Amino acid sequence: MKRILVACGNGIATSTVVATKIKDICAEKGIAISVTQCKLLEIDSKVDDFDILVTTGRYGGDSAKIPVVSAMSLLTGIGEEETLEEIVNYARG
């Protein structure tokens, strides 16, 4: 089971939208995942416990030694399918 950390500005609203879309697509494809939400400012203290980092804001840190996916498209709808495909590919790997 892959562990996915979803980070947004406050760790509440936008990360909930993104987390729900990730959970739905992975469930549809039969991929077991766990999703945790946090604030962008919390990434560096939490990222070591996860397999994939998905952000809705700018993450300039380089402490993440895992795949980092920018997920603004999951909020705007522009490029959403490509972003979900990228997340699914990492979750399968």
Active-site residue identified among 4, 5, 6, 8: 8
Q: Is 38 a catalytic residue?
A: no
As beta bridge partners, residue 42 has none
Count of H-run helices and E-run strands, the chain? 4, 4
Q: Report which of 32, 46, 30, 90 is spatially closest to residue 15, judged by C-alpha positions.
A: 46
Distance, CA of 26 to CA of 32 (rounded, Å): 7
And the tokens for 32? 């077991």
Nearest-Å Rg of the Cα atoms of the chain is: 12
Give catalytic residue positions. Answer: 8
